[in-house]
Amino acid sequence: MFTPSPMLLKLLYTRGSLHNTPTGVAFSLKNRLDTVRITRLDFVQIGEQRITPEHIGLDFGNGEVRPAPEVLGSAPDGLEFPVGHSIMFHLTTPALPEGIHAVQVQFAAEPFGELSVEVEDSIVNLPDDRPRIPRQDQDDYSEAAIQARQRFAEQFTGQEFKHLKQYSFDAHTLQGNCEHFTGVAQIPIGLAGPLRVNGEHAQGDFLIPLATTEGTLVASYNRGIQALNLCGGVKCTVIGDAMQRAPVFVFDDARGARDFAKWVEAEKAAIGAEAESTSRIAKLQYIDTYLANKFAYLRFNYSTGDAAGQNMVGRATFAACSWILENYKGAPVRHFYLESNFATDKKASQINVMRTRGKRVVAEAVIKRDVLQQRMRVTPEQLAYHGQVSNVGAFLSGANNNGAHSANGITAMFIATGQDVANVSESSAGVIYSEVTAERDLYLSMTIPSLIVATHGGGTGLATQNECLRMLGCVGRGTVNKFAEIVAGVVLAGELSLASAISSSDWVSSHEQYGRNR
C-alpha cells in the first residue's frame, strides 16, 4: 500500500463526467490507485456550493442510486472500493450552467486516511444523436447483450454475418480481455515440428502451433525445424529478464532534474519497497536515470514472474512515484507523467535492443554441412556470405533486425497462444550471427533482446489460446522461460529456412507453389 500524493489523487476523477441530471448534478470517480475501504464521506463542493452527504446519492455501477449515509452506514468497517471500479455521485442541487467548475470531494479511506480530490471539469451541452454500440451495464457478456450487438452490426452495415457469430466458449471468460464482444475471428492454425529444444527450461520435442493466413509460413518453419532436428536440435538460453515503466518528472531547469536524479539514487531502497508493496510478483531490479533538458526520465526495471507484466509494473511504478512526489523536498516537480514513451511500450527501439525488455533469449545451433546441402540446397559458405551482405542492407535501412523474418514466427505463435500481438513490434528485434566452423559446418545464432511473452494473465487463459499453451506444456507456474526458449528456437528455424530459400533462389518458386491463392 502507498500514500497517494495530491497530484495523483486528481486522477481519481473521471474527466468529462460532470453533467446535469433531472434531479441535479452527477460526476464519476474511478479508483485508479489501489483497493481501499471508504469509511467516511464529508462533502462535495462545486464552486462555492457545498453539498453534504444527505444530499448525495451513490451508484456503484448497477444503476441503483442509494443515499450516501445509507450506503456507508450499512458497512461499519468501510465500504470496499476495488481498483478499476467507479462510483457515480448524484447531487441533489440546482443544475449547473455551461462552463468550467471547480469540483472537490473530501472523504476518508482505509488505509490512506483523509483524502481530498480537487479538480476542474466543465458542463458542455451537446446534442448526442450518434448511433451507439449496444451494451448492458449489468452483464455485457450475456447472450442478450452479444446478440444485440450482432443485430446492430448487421443493421448498421446492411450485411449478414454468419461465421463471426460462431464460437464455442462462454463469453463471460472474456471479461478483462475484450469489450463490446460480438464474435470471433477464426484464424487457421497449422502445426510445425516437433522441434527439439535443448534449453535450460525447455527440454525435449515440442509440437508448434502457428496461427497464420500467410501461405508457405508453416511449411517454411517446418523445413527449418527438420534441418535443426537432424543436427541435434536447437540450444536456447534466457540471458536477461526485465519489464519497464518509464515515468518522467519535469522541473524548472536542468539543475533541478540533476539533483532529483541524485536523490532517487540515494532513496532507491525506499522507492523499491513502495513499488513492490503493490504486488507479490513484481520485483524492482534497478532504476536507470536519463537526463535531458529539464526532464528526469526514470526507467524502472522489474521481474514479473510468468506474466508479461506491463499492467503490473505500471501499478508498481505508480505507487513508487506517488511516494516520490510525497517525499521529495528539493526543487518543485512541475509535471509528472507515469509513462514518458521511454519504456517504448509497443514500439521498436534501440534501448530495448541494448537493455532488454521482456526476455532476452538466444537460440543457436550448428547445422551440418551435408544437411545444409541435401535439405536446404546451400553451403555454409553461401549462407555466411549472404549474412554479411544482408548486414549491410539492415544497417543502411536502419532496421532493428539483421535477420530475415523473425516477426513471422513470433506473430503466429503469439496469436495461437494468447500473447499481446502488439508486442511483436518490440519482440521482432533480432541480432543474427553466422560463421563457418573449423569443420566446415555452419554455426547460426539468433539473439532476441526484447521478447515479451507470458504464460499467465492476458489472453493466455482463453479457450483456444490455453489449449495451444497446453500443447507446448507451458501452463502453470514457472513456465514462461520455457515458452521463451521454444519461441526462440522456432525463430531460428525460420531464419535458417528463409535465408536458405533466398540463397538458393527457391524463395519465389516456393511461394508460387505453396502460397499462391489468387
Residues designated as active site: 214, 420, 511
Q: Which helix (H) or strand (E) holds 365?
A: strand 358-367
Residue 489 Cα distances to 208, 406, 479, angstroms? 10, 11, 16
* Alpha carbons 103 and 105: distance in angstroms, whole number: 7
φ, ψ (nearest 5 deg) of residue 230? -65, -15
Residue 416 Cα distances to 191, 334, 337, 342, 483, angstroms? 11, 45, 34, 29, 13
* Alpha carbons 501 and 382: distance in angstroms, whole number: 11
Within 13 Å and on the Cβ side, how many CA atoms surround 12?
Answer: 27
Radius of gyration of the chain (CA): 28
Q: Residues near 212 by Cβ (< 8 Å), separated by ≥ 6?
A: 187, 188, 190, 218, 408, 411, 412, 415
φ, ψ (nearest 5 deg) of residue 311? -70, -40
State the cell numbers at 243: 519489464
Strands (DSSP E) contained in 273-312 are: 283-292, 295-303
Residue 92 Cα distances to 24, 58, 89, 193, angstroms? 5, 11, 10, 67
* Alpha carbons 6 and 42: distance in angstroms, whole number: 17
* Alpha carbons 34 and 318: distance in angstroms, whole number: 10
* Alpha carbons 84 and 93: distance in angstroms, whole number: 28
